[in-house]
Structure 1
Amino acid sequence: MSDTEITFQSGPVTLFGSLRLVAGPDRKAPAALILAGSGPTDRNGDSTLLEGDIGTLRFIADILEEQGISSLRYDKIGSGETGLGPYEIDEIADLGFNTYVDAASDGLDFLAQQPGVDADRLIIVGHSDGAIVALAVATASEGARVSSLALVEPLSIRLLDLLTNQIHGQLDAVVGAGQLPVELADELRVALAGAVESLRTDGTVPDDLPEPLRNAGLVYANAKALAEEDALDPVALAAMLPAGIPVLTSCSAKDIQIVPSDVAALDDALSHTSLTSVRMRNASFVLKELGDEQSTGADYVAPLPYSDEFAKPFAEWVRSLT
C-alpha cells in the first residue's frame, strides 16, 4: 500500500507527512502515530546529518501495515519538507522541546479523524527521543485517547543525565588513550556540571563554556529545548500511565546510544502496565541487523537488513492489539 502525502497544522507550523490507511470508512482499524528521535530526523527516520538511507520509521510503518494497522509519520520541524516552517533560523532557540510534544498531540488528533481509523485504538510508537514525546502525550490531560505505546530504543533517563554520562564516557576514553591530560578532562567535567545546574535552575547555558562542550550542543540556541526536555523524566512519566495499558519497550546489547540498564529501570516503572520487553543482541540503534559486527554509527546508513529480532516480537505485540 502506498503512502498518501498529507499536511496538518500545529500552531503556526504546517507539518508534512505520510498517511497509510489500511481500512475504509466501512471498517475501523487501529492506527499508530510514529515519532522520530532527536536531531533533524524526518518521517522515514533519515537524518540530514548522515548521507544515506536509514529508514527506521518507514520499516516500522511496513510492519504495522502487515498487521492491519494504519499509520501516520511526519517530518518534524527542522527536517524534511516541514523544514523550519514559518520561522527563521535565529528564532528556533525560542521554540523549545514542547513544540515537538504539541506537534505530536496535533498529529494524533489528525490521525483520529481519518476515515477507517478507530479513534478508540490509537497507538503511539516513539523511537529514541520520540519515546519521551510519546510518554508526554500519553500522560497529558487528554492522554486517555492513547490506547497503547511502543517505546523503541527509548530515552530512558533525563536528557542531561544521558548527556553527562556520554560526555564522561568520551572523556574517560581520550584520557585513557593518552590524548587528553587528566587536568583538562577534570576542568571539562566541572564545567559540564555547572552547565547542567544552570539549565535545570534557570534554563540558561553559561556563555564561557569550553569549546568541546559547545560542540556537544550546550549552546544558547539549544538551551530552551534542552531544559524543557530534561524536565521530562521518562521514569516519572512511565509511572503515571494508566494501569494495564499495553506498552512495549525495546533495546539492544549493540545499541551505542541507549543503555540496557536504563531501559530496565524504565521497565520497572512500567510494572503496573501490560508490558512487553523486547531485548535484542545484534540490532543497532536504528534497528538494522549487525550480525557479528559492532556498531560504530557509520552502520546506520549501511545497506543492512532490518532486524528480525525486533520485527517478529513487535509484529506479535501489534497483533495482540487488534
Structure 2
Amino acid sequence: MIRRRALLAAGALAPGAAWAQARPQKSLTESGWYARGKTKERTFRFAGTGGVTLAGTLLMPLFSEIQYVPGIVLVAGSGPTDRDGNNPLAPERIDLLKDIALLLARNGIASLRYDKRGIGQSTPRPRGSLEEQEAFFAWGNFVGDVEAAHTELLRHDEIKPYATALLGHSEGGLLALAASKALVAKKLHALVLAATPGRKLEDILRAQIGRDAPPSLRLPTDRAIAAILETGRVPTNLPRELELLFPPYAGPFLKSLLSFDPAAVLAESRTPCLVLQGAADRQVVPMADVQPLIDALRSRDVSGEAVVIPQVSHNLKTVSGPTDPGFGGPLSPVVAETLLKWLVPALGA
C-alpha cells in the first residue's frame, strides 16, 4: 500500500539537527579505516562490469565493529557527478550523497557510494574508436555497476546480508530501479528513488526543451531523439547547445535511457520503495514527472510511500525563494527526517 503525505512549507525551514553539524576531523587507524566521530570511513576499488574498476567509499557506524549493520548503495545522478554528488558543471559544491552517507552512518546504516565509470577515480573513458566508447557507456554496464556495488557491499562482513537497499538520485534512481529487478534474488529489502522521474526521459526532455530552451532548439531536439531511438546513434551536426545532452558516444546508452519506463518497472517491483521529491525541483517537475511513480506505488500490494516536500530543490536542499536553484548548503532537515523515518524501520537499523 502507499501513504502519501503533504508537508507544510514551514517544515522545510525547520532548524538543522545532528546531520547539519560540522564534520569532525579524520584520523587514520591501523586497519586502514578513517575514524570520523561516531563513524568510520574507508576508500577502495572494486570490480565493475566488463573489466571496469570502480572507486568507492564505505562509511560505517563505529559500532559496526561489534554488531552487524544494514547497508545501502548510493547511486549518483547524470553527467560527471561523482560519488559525493558533486558535478563540475554545477556552480557550487553539492555534496548530496556525502551528506546522506554521513546522516545514515550516524543513525546505524552503512553506505557504499562510488564514482561511476568514466568519472573521478574509476576507470576513465576510453580514447579509442566511437564503437569502443559506445560499448563502455552502454546502459547495461551502468546498471551492472550498481549490481556490482551491491555485491561489494555484501562482501564486507559488518553488513547484514538480509538488510540492504539502493538509493538513487535523479538518473541514479533510474539505474537503481533497473538494477533492483536483478537483485530480487539477493533479497534487496528497500529502494529509495530521490528526485527520480516517473515518466520516460523522452517525454521529460521534450517538455524541458519546450519550456526552457529557445524555440530554435525544439526541432533539432526532436530530430536527435527520433534518430537515437531508431538507430542508437547520435546524429551529427546538432546545435552546440545540445552537445552536452547528446554526446556522440552516448547513442546506445541514450536509446535505453530515453525509452526506459520507470513507472512500469516500479509497478512490477516487489521491493518496498520510498519516492522522495522536492516540490521546488526544476528538473523533475512535480507533479507531472512524479505522479506516474505515485500511481505505480498505489497499484502494488507492497509497502511504499511518496513524500513531496515544499521548498526543496532537485538536490534535496532547502531553497530560499523561486530564484534559488538549491545547489549548496546542508541536506534539507525535512528530507533527512523523512529518509530516516522510512529507512530505519525498513532495514531494521
RMSD: 2.1
Matches within 5 A, 1:67-216: 67-82=107-122, 84=124, 87-88=126-127, 91-95=132-136, 96-140=138-182, 142=184, 144-171=186-213, 174=214, 185=215, 188-212=217-241, 214-216=242-244
How far residue 110 of structure 1 moved from its aligned partner, in angstroms, is: 0.7
How far residue 144 of structure 1 moved from its aligned partner, in angstroms, is: 4.6
Q: Does 1:319 align with 2:324?
A: no
Gaps of 5+ in 1: 175-184
On the 8 A contact 2:42/2:58 being kept in 1, the answer is yes
> For 1:154 and 1:102, how far apart are their aligned partners in 2?
19
**1:81-124 per-position Cα deviation (integer Å, ceiling 9, x unaligned):** 11516x22754333222221111100100101211211111100
Q: Does 1:30 align with 2:84?
A: no
> For 1:35 and 1:309, how far apart are their aligned partners in 2?
21
How far residue 161 of structure 1 moved from its aligned partner, in angstroms, is: 1.7
How far residue 266 of structure 1 moved from its aligned partner, in angstroms, is: 0.8
**1:27-61 per-position Cα deviation (integer Å, ceiling 9, x unaligned):** 32211000000011111101122354211001111
> For 2:96 and 2:183, how far apart are their aligned partners in 1?
30
On the 8 A contact 2:224/2:235 being kept in 1, the answer is yes
> For 2:145 and 2:185, how far apart are their aligned partners in 1?
14
Q: Does 1:309 align with 2:334?
A: yes
The one of 42, 51, 55 aligned to 1:16: 55
Give the structure 2 partner of residue 179 of structure 1.
Answer: none
- Higher relative CO (Cα under 8 Å, sequence separation at least 6) belongs to 2
On the 8 A contact 2:166/2:176 being kept in 1, the answer is yes
How far residue 210 of structure 1 moved from its aligned partner, in angstroms, is: 3.9
On the 8 A contact 2:147/2:183 being kept in 1, the answer is no
On the 8 A contact 1:204/1:224 being kept in 2, the answer is yes
Q: Does 1:239 align with 2:281?
A: no
On the 8 A contact 2:59/2:102 being kept in 1, the answer is no
Q: CA separation of 1:62/1:208 partners in 2, compared to 1, >3 Å: closer, same or farther?
A: same
SS of structure 1 residue aligned to 2:78: coil
How far residue 139 of structure 1 moved from its aligned partner, in angstroms, is: 1.3
On the 8 A contact 2:169/2:193 being kept in 1, the answer is yes
How far residue 268 of structure 1 moved from its aligned partner, in angstroms, is: 0.7
The amino acid across from 1:203 in the alignment is G
How far residue 77 of structure 1 moved from its aligned partner, in angstroms, is: 1.4
Q: TM-score, normalised by structure 2?
A: 0.80
> For 1:12 and 1:106, how far apart are their aligned partners in 2?
11
- Which one is further off, 130-139 or 51-60? 51-60
The amino acid across from 1:224 in the alignment is P
Matches within 5 A, 1:56-71: 56-71=96-111
**1:215-258 per-position Cα deviation (integer Å, ceiling 9, x unaligned):** 3523422212211212321011101201xx32111111211111
SS of structure 1 residue aligned to 2:120: coil
The one of 297, 313, 320 aligned to 1:270: 297
Q: CA separation of 1:59/1:143 partners in 2, compared to 1, >3 Å: closer, same or farther?
A: farther
On the 8 A contact 2:170/2:197 being kept in 1, the answer is yes
Q: TM-score, normalised by structure 1?
A: 0.86
Give me the identity figure in percent: 29
The one of 238, 242, 248 aligned to 1:220: 248
On the 8 A contact 2:278/2:309 being kept in 1, the answer is yes
The amino acid across from 2:316 in the alignment is L
SS of structure 1 residue aligned to 2:182: coil
- Which one is further off, 34-43 or 257-266? 257-266
Give the structure 2 partner of residue 181 of structure 1.
Answer: none
The amino acid across from 1:267 in the alignment is I
On the 8 A contact 1:152/1:250 being kept in 2, the answer is yes
On the 8 A contact 1:138/1:144 being kept in 2, the answer is no
How far residue 190 of structure 1 moved from its aligned partner, in angstroms, is: 3.5
Give the structure 1 partner of residue 44 of structure 2.
Answer: 6
Q: Does 1:285 align with 2:314?
A: yes
> For 1:275 and 1:156, how far apart are their aligned partners in 2?
15
The amino acid across from 2:147 in the alignment is S
Q: CA separation of 1:113/1:224 partners in 2, compared to 1, >3 Å: closer, same or farther?
A: same
Q: CA separation of 1:122/1:89 partners in 2, compared to 1, >3 Å: closer, same or farther?
A: farther
Gaps of 5+ in 2: 1-38
The amino acid across from 1:189 in the alignment is R
> For 1:266 and 1:74, how far apart are their aligned partners in 2?
26
How far residue 15 of structure 1 moved from its aligned partner, in angstroms, is: 0.7
How far residue 296 of structure 1 moved from its aligned partner, in angstroms, is: 4.8
> For 2:128 and 2:319, how far apart are their aligned partners in 1?
37
